[in-house]
Amino acid sequence: MRVSHDKVTERRAVEAAIQSGATMGLWAASRLGLTGFSALTYALEVATLASEGANDDAIVAKVAEDFRGHGVPVAAHSLRSKFRHRKTASA
């Protein structure tokens, strides 16, 4: 069975989204003071959001909301920059 080029491209895009979401999630978890299983669970939440097609702004908004909820000061533009950097690093 032959897989189309479009399917391969789509799969790679989803894999890249999951990887960048997980990387962002792990970074954010460390800033939230999460460790171990809690950190992995948080990273999985962010990666799942990314794999479901959430755009960068939705992912940044989720992390920003979680930071506010935990009293972690951060500006949204700073989170966007971190996320872009992590997307580039994981590509």
* Rounded CA separation 71/13 (Å): 33
* Rounded CA separation 23/57 (Å): 16
Q: Which tens digit of pLDDT belongs to each residue from 22-81?
A: 999 999 999 999 999 999 999 999 999 988 887 888 888 999 999 999 999 987 788 888
* Rounded CA separation 47/87 (Å): 12
- DSSP category for residue 91: -
Q: Which tens digit of pLDDT belongs to each residue from 2-17?
A: 667 777 787 787 787 8
Per the domain annotation, does 57 fall within a domain? Answer: yes
Per the domain annotation, does 5 fall within a domain? Answer: no
Identify the helix (H) or strand (E) that includes residue 9. helix 5-31
Identify the helix (H) or strand (E) that includes residue 31. helix 5-31
Summarize the chain as % helix, strand, coil (round to 5). Answer: 80, 0, 20
Domain that holds residue 45: 10-90
Q: Looking at the 3D structure of the chain, how many domains does it have?
A: 1
Per the domain annotation, does 53 fall within a domain? Answer: yes
Per-residue confidence at 82, pLDDT binned at 50, 70, 90?
A: confident
- DSSP category for residue 72: -
